[in-house]
């Protein structure tokens, strides 16, 4: 652009860099000049237009200001100037003096970090990638030197290095990089992913850091350089090995999130079972691992990519799409991959409490994920206000500095964040997180065969029993496929179907991607997933698993029948979790009892220490405890109550029984005896032995919480009672009962002072 020396000198003399250089040279300092420009910028301008070209230059300018101090061995102020077009100059005082090899490494690391930053920013608007030229030169600080001539000479030298020594720069760093890989000199840090419902840790994301005092300290440089020199697979392999080996103890339900580049997962070496070996050595299983596919890299061959993912899903691994909202193909990737988790990029989370557009977008995504059966993880939560907004929207999980910084060993969740989550959850304990019946409640036993079973045997099995409509194909009790009767008939019904398939293993015709769900998934959510399947698979069995093992199957007919019954019960006022009559029915029943002459009693039941149990063991186990309490209550009332006895669920952990007065004490005694025996099974063996656990109270202080017990208050409610008086008296008795330790029932035998 500026071919003549005079024009270039004139431009340099008019820039502010010349004045800064003069000051540095007067101090007799050696000055580092760094030259940066965009490769084939004229083509970017012609193909993509001026607006995108300007965006690239703005991002590059910002990145230079931010990254220069991280990579350049400079002292004092660092000056950055856009000299012309896409050409940038950086000046700083070089201290101490660096060797040419060090300068080569420094400039290469700087280039990689800048290119990765550009890639992340541009992925929001385009699939194009941008490469940079980076070169350097040293201006010697000595008396008598002319700053303009020195600046011109240094610039020309830096341009030559930038545009002619790319391979040389890479070579200088390659030795150091290979040494790091050979010595396994990478550090894994872990950042918790936290439930915004109750503060429990879902799992940890493993993040890579390079050696200290190395140009490879930053993960941007590590993975950028690895991709450039063709070492991406060995780098990710090493990261997986270190992440799994160093993660330490994890609960059986917790997850380890590993970042996987889309190019890596299709590498033939990736499929050799090395990850399974690592898990076995670390006493983990595939259900503990989530492959986090970064959205910043486009996926070009979704058919091949999904085939590889299916291989891992069949073994129990989970999949997450990372950086959703930052990538150019976010929606396509989500639709094609159908992830178990969608990680929302921090750019959508930042200041969501004040940005109505971001909030509306995330609300839509929450509804969307409920329909397709996956969970949202919001990344980059940095403030209490962002956390509160995400909780109110219904986002399931979060990650960010406000919750915990990455660290090694695995850091706990910040107390401040935990207290905030508990505070938010306690305000709306029966809000969006309340679950309906889990699918495991209606699961039926499955007929299963191994992958080696010949198709002929499968055909004979189905022909011998017309009630069997499908068979689950398993490998070591893990479901890997499904064959429905109508699909088998479709294969064998062709002209050469029997000859082609009859003696081949069933694995050649099975559906390798049936709808598989965990036993804890709510029936309503499973129904949505079922109806969103391809038309050819709409009436296939739903395969139900428990920790990756086959648990059973659910037919679409059973699922729809159950959904209909649930909705009918809900319409009648039943509690959607327990199925017991809800408040509308309870009110009507109480009014009926109060108008009767027969001696009736009202038993108010409340669980003690339920919130502390919920906080420690999570909402899913809390729901199981509520279901245990409800089912036990129904059973005891049915067996020991009169034919007109009534049991209802007020909400949360509060229940009510209306029965004949003479049977009230027996119902309470039996219920307490059975409840205290059964509730222990919902605790860990350690907590069972200790009789409780230490946990945080509402003020964030550590307290001892004994096992959940039950408080029962009995009040006579014959025809001389009023509803208001009954409510007041049961509240008084319940409060008194809860002051006593352990399970207890109390009966007010005083005259009814609140009669109407």
User: Does residue 431 surpass a pLDDT of 50?
Assistant: no
For the cut 90, the answer to whether the pLDDT of residue 109 exceeds it is no
- Please give the Cα distance from 554 to 443 (Å, whole number): 5
Does the pLDDT at position 181 exceed 60?
A: yes
Work out the pLDDT band at 506, boundaries 50, 70, 90.
very high
Domain CATH number, residue 615: 3.30.70.270
368-386 average pLDDT score: 87
Among candidate residues 528, 562, 596, the one where a domain is terminated: 562
pLDDT confidence band for 725 (50 / 70 / 90): low
Cα–Cα distance measured from residue 415 to residue 299, given in angstroms and rounded to the nearest whole number: 40
Does pLDDT of 8 surpass 70? no
Sheet containing strand 549-554, strands side by side: 516-518, 542-546, 549-554
pLDDT value, residue 429: 35
- For residues 408 and 269, membership in a common domain is answered with yes
Q: Are residues 231 and 374 in the same domain?
A: yes
577 and 557 within one domain? no
**What DSSP state is assigned to residue 449?**
E
Condensed to tens digits (0 to 9), the pLDDT of residues 345-372 reads: 888 899 998 888 888 888 888 888 877 7
- Give the residue from 498, 528, 562 where a domain finishes: 562
**588/677 same-domain check:** yes
Q: Are 626 and 614 in contact (CB under 8 A)?
A: no
**What number is the average pLDDT over the span 326-331?**
57
Average pLDDT over residues 491-510: 88
**What is the sign of the dihedral through the CA atoms of 536, 538, 541 and 543?**
positive
Both 611 and 727 in a single domain? yes
Given pLDDT bands bounded at 50, 70 and 90, which one contains residue 410?
very high
Q: What pLDDT, on a 0 to 100 scale, did the predictor assign at position 408? A: 93
Domain tally, the chain: 4
Question: Are both 690 and 718 inside the same structural domain?
Answer: yes
| pLDDT on residue 22 | 80
Q: Is residue 567 part of a domain?
A: no
User: Is residue 172 situated within a structural domain?
Assistant: no
Q: What is the rounded average pLDDT of the residues 91-113?
A: 80
Residue 584 confidence (pLDDT) above 80: no
- What are the beta bridge partners of residue 88? 36, 82
Please tell me the predicted confidence (pLDDT) of residue 270: 59
Look up the CATH number of the domain holding residue 471: 3.10.580.10
| Nearest C-alpha neighbor of 438 from the set 530, 517, 373, 369 | 517
Phi-psi group of 651: left, alpha or beta (phi > 0 → left; psi -120 to 50 → alpha; rest → beta): left
Task: Share the mean pLDDT of the chain.
Answer: 82
Please determine, for residue 643, whether its predicted confidence score (pLDDT) is greater than 80: no
- Range name among 226-235, 329-338, 376-385 with the lowest pLDDT average: 329-338
Percent helix, strand, coil in the chain (nearest 5)? 50, 20, 30
Is it the case that residue 77 has pLDDT exceeding 90? Answer: no
Specify the range with the lowest mean pLDDT, choosing from 311-315, 681-685, 750-754. 750-754
Q: Are residues 506 and 633 in the same domain?
A: no
Statement to judge: residues 192 and 57 lie in one domain: no
Query: Worst-scoring range by mean pLDDT, 68-72, 320-324, 436-440, 528-532?
Result: 436-440
Give pLDDT, residue 169: 57
Residue 132 inside a domain? The answer is yes
Q: Which domain holds residue 19?
A: 5-164
Residue where a domain stops, chosen among 118, 143, 164: 164
Residue-wise pLDDT for 539-571, tens only, equals 899 999 988 899 999 999 888 888 877 766 556
The answer on 292 and 401 residing in a single domain is yes
Q: pLDDT band at residue 391, thresholds of 50, 70 and 90?
A: confident
Compute the average pLDDT of residues 703-717. Answer: 89
Does some domain include residue 434? no
Q: Does residue 96 have a cis bond before it (omega within 30 degrees)? A: yes
Question: Is there a contact between 482 and 500 (Cβ–Cβ < 8 Å)?
Answer: no
- Residue 325's pLDDT is 64
383: domain CATH number is 3.20.20.450
Residue 220: its pLDDT value, please? 82
Looking at the fold, whether 409 and 446 belong to one and the same domain comes out as: no
Cβ contacts of residue 205 below 8 Å, gap of 6+? 190, 191, 193, 257, 259, 292, 399, 406
In a domain, 756, yes or no: no
The answer to whether residue 755 is domain-embedded is no
Average pLDDT over residues 23-43: 84
> Average pLDDT of 157-177?
70
pLDDT in tens, 200-212: 899 999 999 999 8
pTM: 0.52
Is the same domain home to 458 and 509? Answer: yes
Give yes or no: residues 145 and 205 share one domain: no
* Chain centroid offset of residue 236 CA: 20
Q: Give me the DSSP letters along 17-86.
A: HHHHHHHHHHTT--EEEEEEEETTHHHHHHHH-HHHHHHHHHHHHHHHHHHHHHH--EEEEEEEEEEETT
Average pLDDT estimate for 703-719: 85
pLDDT score, position 45: 82
Say if residue 434's pLDDT is above 90.
Answer: no
Q: Is the pLDDT of residue 500 over 50?
A: yes
The β-bridge partners of 203 are 193, 255
Give the pLDDT of residue 426: 53
In a domain, residue 431? The reply is: no
Residue 752 domain flag: no
């Amino acid at each position: 652009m500026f071919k003549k020396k005079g024009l270039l000198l004139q431009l340099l003399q008019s820039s502010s860099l010349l004045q800064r250089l003069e000051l540095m040279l007067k101090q007799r300092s050696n000055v580092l000049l760094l030259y940066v420009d965009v490769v084939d910028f004229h083509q970017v301008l012609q193909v993509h237009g001026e607006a995108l070209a300007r965006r690239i230059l703005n991002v590059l300018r910002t990145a230079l200001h931010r990254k220069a101090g991280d990579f350049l061995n400079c002292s004092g102020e660092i000056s950055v100037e856009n000299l012309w077009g896409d050409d940038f100059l950086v000046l700083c005082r070089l201290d101490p003096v660096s060797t040419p090899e060090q300068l080569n490494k420094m400039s290469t690391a700087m280039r990689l970090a800048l290119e990765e930053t550009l890639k992340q920013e541009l992925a929001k608007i385009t699939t194009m990638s941008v490469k940079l030229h980076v070169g350097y030169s040293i201006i010697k600080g000595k008396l008598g030197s002319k700053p303009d001539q020195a600046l011109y000479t240094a610039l020309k030298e830096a341009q030559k290095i930038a545009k002619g020594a790319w391979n040389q720069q890479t070579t200088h760093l390659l030795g150091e990089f290979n040494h790091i890989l050979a010595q396994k000199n990478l550090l894994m840090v872990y950042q918790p992913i936290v439930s915004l419902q109750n503060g429990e840790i879902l799992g940890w994301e493993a993040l890579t850091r390079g050696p200290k005092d190395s140009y490879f300290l930053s993960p941007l440089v590590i993975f950028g350089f690895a991709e450039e020199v063709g070492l991406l697979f060995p780098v990710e392999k090493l990261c997986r090995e270190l992440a799994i080996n160093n993660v330490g103890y994890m609960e059986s339900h917790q997850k380890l999130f590993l970042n996987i580049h889309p190019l890596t997962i299709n590498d033939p070496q990736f499929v050799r079972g090395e990850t399974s070996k690592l898990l076995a050595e670390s006493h983990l299983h595939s259900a503990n691992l989530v492959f986090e596919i970064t959205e910043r890299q486009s996926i070009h061959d979704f058919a091949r990519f999904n085939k590889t993912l299916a291989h891992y899903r069949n073994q129990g691994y989970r999949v997450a799409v990372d950086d959703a909202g930052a990538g150019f193909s976010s929606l396509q990737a989500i639709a094609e991959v159908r992830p178990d988790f969608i990680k929302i990029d921090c750019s959508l989370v930042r200041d969501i409490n004040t940005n109505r557009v971001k909030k509306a977008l995330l609300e839509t995504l929450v509804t969307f994920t409920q329909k397709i059966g996956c969970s949202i993880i919001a990344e980059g939560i940095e403030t209490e206000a962002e956390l509160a907004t995400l909780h109110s929207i219904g986002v399931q999980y979060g990650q960010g500095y406000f919750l915990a910084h990455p660290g090694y060993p695995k850091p706990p969740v910040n107390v401040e964040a935990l207290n905030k989550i508990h505070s938010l959850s306690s305000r709306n304990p029966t809000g969006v997180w309340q679950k309906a019946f889990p699918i495991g409640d209606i699961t039926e036993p499955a007929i299963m065969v191994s992958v080696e079973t010949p198709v002929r045997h499968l055909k004979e099995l189905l022909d011998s029993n017309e009630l069997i409509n499908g068979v689950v194909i398993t490998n070591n009790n893990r479901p890997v496929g499904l064959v429905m009767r109508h699909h088998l008939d479709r294969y064998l019904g062709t002209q050469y179907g029997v000859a082609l398939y009859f003696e081949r293993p069933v694995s050649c015709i099975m559906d390798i991607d049936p709808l598989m769900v965990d036993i804890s998934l709510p029936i309503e959510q499973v129904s949505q997933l079922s109806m969103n399947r391809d038309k050819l698979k709409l009436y296939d069995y739903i395969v139900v698993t428990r920790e990756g093992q086959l648990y059973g199957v659910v037919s679409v007919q059973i699922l729809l029948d159950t959904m209909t019954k649930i909705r009918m019960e809900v319409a009648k006022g039943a509690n959607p979790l327990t199925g017991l009559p809800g408040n509308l029915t309870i009110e009507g029943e109480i009014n009926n009892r109060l108008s009767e002459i027969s001696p009736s009693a009202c038993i108010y039941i409340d669980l003690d220490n339920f919130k502390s149990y919920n906080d420690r063991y999570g909402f899913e186990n809390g729901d199981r405890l509520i279901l245990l309490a409800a089912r036990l209550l129904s059973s005891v009332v049915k067996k020991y109550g009169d034919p007109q006895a009534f049991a209802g669920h007020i909400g949360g952990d509060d229940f009510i029984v209306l029965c004949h007065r003479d049977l009230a004490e027996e119902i309470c005694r039996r219920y307490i005896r059975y409840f205290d025996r059964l509730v222990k099974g919902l605790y860990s063996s350690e907590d069972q032995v200790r009789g409780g656990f230490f946990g945080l109270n509402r003020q964030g202080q550590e307290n001892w919480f004994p096992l959940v017990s039950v408080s029962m208050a009995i009040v006579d409610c014959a025809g001389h009672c009023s509803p208001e008086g009954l409510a007041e008296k049961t509240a008084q008795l319940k409060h008194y009962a809860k002051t006593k330790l352990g399970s207890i029932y109390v009966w007010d035998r005083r005259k009814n002072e609140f009669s109407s």
